[in-house]
Amino acid sequence: MSMYLRGSVYWIEFRDPDGNRVRESTGTSDREKAKSYHDLRQHQLTEGRERPGTWDDAVERWLRERTDKRSLDRDESMIRWLHPHFRRRIFATITDDEVRHVVELKKQETTASNANHYLKFIRALFNRSIEWKWLASSPVKMKPYRTSDKRIRFLSEAELARLLTELPHHLRMMAEFSVLTGLRMSNVTGLKWDRVDVSRRIAWVDSTEYKSGRNHGIPLGQRAIEILLGEQGCHPTYVFTYRGYPVQNANNTAWRSALSRAGITDFRWHDLRHTFASYHALNGTPLLTLKALGGWQSLSMVNRYAHLATEGTRQYVLEHVPGVPPTAVGACGNSVGESTHTPPTVSLPTRGEQRS
């Protein structure tokens, strides 16, 4: 099998199993990509496979073979984002450099952790193509970004109020419901009426749709009930809709524009779940109770919010240094007699009072 330039595009020439001469365009002027295509066709001839698979073929077959509903929804979302970058490309001509470039774009758009999910999907897709005998080996050599699991971004009450004011009505209802229930975006967009019992003030998510793989029940407060009642009659199946259709992805242009207008940065839709958990921790919800409310599998996931849970320890705070009489304060580092600074009078709320 030989490879040569015709104009600016590389072509390959070979003989099929019957001895007929065949010439094919690789569709690229990049020698490295053309060489990958050349090697693929050589491998396919050995295996008896004729047509080279494209990116479109690969993702279509991947989705067809998937049976796990939870990961399928996630895969479909990633494919929608990746598709413009690889659409109609001969699968074997996609290089590691191109994968790095696309994953870096996702990292700049969101976070390193989220970009790693896309890299993991791409690697899995290439590895599966080896099983399909489309490729002899995977070109993807990129390593995941190093990340920290300690990131917890949540909104202050003022930030949340600004964001809700800027969101269009349908996204505001979904965002409020997310903060009230702690549900992930896919569980909010996918919530169906047959999984809601307003009279019992409960909703639930099936194990096939919940990340932990377990059924998850969600107790509903008054505001959550009001939101659900406001959505009744809009769609026979799905709770949250826009112009009569289910919302597929709440992390859209309208969401990002609202964040910008509200002056909020470094915030993702998933951080509404962090906001839910942080508010509970700040209000003294026991961590085991929070674990059940949020549907986390392990207490270690909930312990990320433990530093906010001070209500249970407040009664043990030392009000003064034992055995040491208090001295004057506010000297700004000078001896008390030298200070001309008068500290402001601050009225601290007693336990149970609300700060204005």
Whether 87 is catalytic is no
User: H or E stretch including 23?
Assistant: strand 21-25
Which of 106, 184, 274, 291 is catalytic? The answer is 184
Give me the catalytic one of 107, 211, 235, 268.
Answer: 211
- What residue has token string 């030298």? 338
3-state secondary structure of 216: strand
Sheet holding 2-6, edge to edge: 2-6, 9-15, 21-25
DSSP 304: G
Is the CB of residue 23 less than 8 Å from the CB of residue 11? yes
Angstrom CA distances, 209 to 68, 73, 165, 206, 291, stand at 9, 9, 30, 5, 18
118 catalytic per annotation: no
Active-site residue identified among 118, 210, 242, 296: 296
141 among known catalytic residues: no
Helix, strand or coil, per DSSP, at residue 307: helix
Give the list of residues 6+ apart from residue 285 with CB closer than 8 angstroms, or none.
293, 309
Tally of CA atoms within 13 A in the half-sphere of 130 that contains its CB = 10
Each residue of 295-317: b (16+ CB within 10 Å) or e? bbeeeebbebbeebbeeeeeeee
Q: Closest Cα to residue 103, out of 75, 55, 142?
A: 142
Active site (annotated) includes residue 305: yes
Active site residue 184: yes
Residue 8, classified by CB atoms within 10 Å of its CB into exposed (0-12), middle (13-18) or buried (19+), is exposed
Catalytic residue among 33, 41, 273, 274: 273
Is 172 an active-site residue? no
- For the annotated catalytic residues, the residue numbers are 184, 211, 270, 273, 296, 305
